[in-house]
Amino acid sequence: MGKLNLKVSIDQKSGFCFGVVEAIKRAEDHLNKGEKIYCLGQIVHNEEEVNRLEQKGMITISHEEFKKLKNIKVLFRAHGEPPESYQIVQQNHIDLIDASCPIVTKLQQRVKKAYDNHENIFIFGKPGHPEIIGLLGQTDGNAVVFKDISELSFEKLPPKITLFSQTTMDKKRYAEIIKILREHGIDVKVNNTICGEVANRQPEIKNFCKSFDKIVFVAGKKSSNGKVLYSACKEANPQAYFISSVNEISRQWFAPNESVGICGATSTPQWLMQKVKSHLESL
């Protein structure tokens, strides 16, 4: 089998958003000093990056484990946490490294304000996602979370609602939801809470994908932003493949001398895209 001689480029605009960069930097600052730190939930929805940090000594814990631990150092990741987690920090004398993304923190404050004003809160997002759990915590669990308009019954909706979105959702779908709700006579108070950095990646990634024969999109299986961006890739270039690690790459996907673009989610580390590039160049 001869060498494929692929021409491989990495999308320079892909990779960690600033919220994730900051959370990982905070974790590494402590780990490099040899400190023992615990992370509440996966620091980022990317197994490879989680493994790298765990090898440096970071311990990932669940919310159940967190409730039982005392006098330790815990990192809150970029997704944000509900008020209950901060209460546990107080009660259990935990040394907190709060790496909640400022955009998420601001969104939490807006949701809490709307809840305190007795507004009917609806959130476009993924039920069970860590960011959503943090947002629901601002409303004592009294908000409606939906990821598709079909989940809502227009007959049962209150005449006036306050609408928010998880920061990593699709901007186009959010706009469609607002339009449909208004067409059904619902008075919608709209909050534009999709992260600008995330929203801008869709047009950017589409432009990038158009320039190549094949695309390799790198993201963790649990990344919601990964799913959104991958569908944008696929729209721009149907010859796009989703992988989470190098060993998922198949030589059969490529023909000799093809151009291949590598891009990823806001939770995809640069080093992993670099590793994919080296692997493709060796085929």
Q: In what order do the strands lie in the sheet with 95-98?
A: 59-61, 38-40, 73-76, 95-98
Q: What is the pLDDT of residue 119?
A: 98
Instruction: Extract the tokens encoding 16.
Output: 């960690």
DSSP 8-state symbol, 32: T
Cβ contact 110:85 at 8 Å: no
Q: At which of 100, 120, 137 does a domain end? A: 100
Give per-residue pLDDT as tens, 47-64: 999 999 999 999 999 999
One domain, residues 92 and 170: no
Residue 51: how many other CB atoms lie within 10 Å: 11
Residue 170: how many other CB atoms lie within 10 Å: 22
Amino acid sitting at position 112: K
Could you write out the DSSP letters of every residue in 158-194? -SEEEEEE-TTS-HHHHHHHHHHHHHTT-EEEE---S
- Please tell me the distance from the alpha carbon of residue 19 to that of residue 266, in angstroms, as a whole number: 9
Element (DSSP H or E) covering residue 40: strand 38-40
Terminal C-alpha separation, the chain: 10
Q: The CATH number of the domain where 207 resides is what?
A: 3.40.1010.20
Active site amino acids? 131
Q: Is residue 2 situated within a structural domain?
A: no
Q: How many separate domains does the chain show?
A: 3
One domain, residues 77 and 156: no
Q: What is the pLDDT of residue 118?
A: 97
Q: Is residue 95 situated within a structural domain?
A: yes
Q: What residues in the chain have per-residue pLDDT under 50? A: none
One domain, residues 107 and 96: no
Cβ contact 243:249 at 8 Å: yes
Q: Is residue 208 situated within a structural domain?
A: yes
Q: What is the pLDDT of residue 204?
A: 95
One domain, residues 71 and 85: yes
Q: Is residue 150 situated within a structural domain?
A: yes
Give per-residue pLDDT as tens, 135-189: 999 999 999 999 999 999 999 999 999 999 999 898 999 999 999 999 999 999 9
One domain, residues 110 and 184: yes
Instruction: Extract the tokens encoding 167.
Output: 């920061």
Q: At which of 162, 194, 226 does a domain end? A: 194
Q: At which of 33, 68, 100 does a domain end? A: 100
Q: In what order do the strands lie in the sheet with 259-264?
A: 7-10, 259-264, 214-218, 240-243
Domain containing 278 equals 7-15+198-282
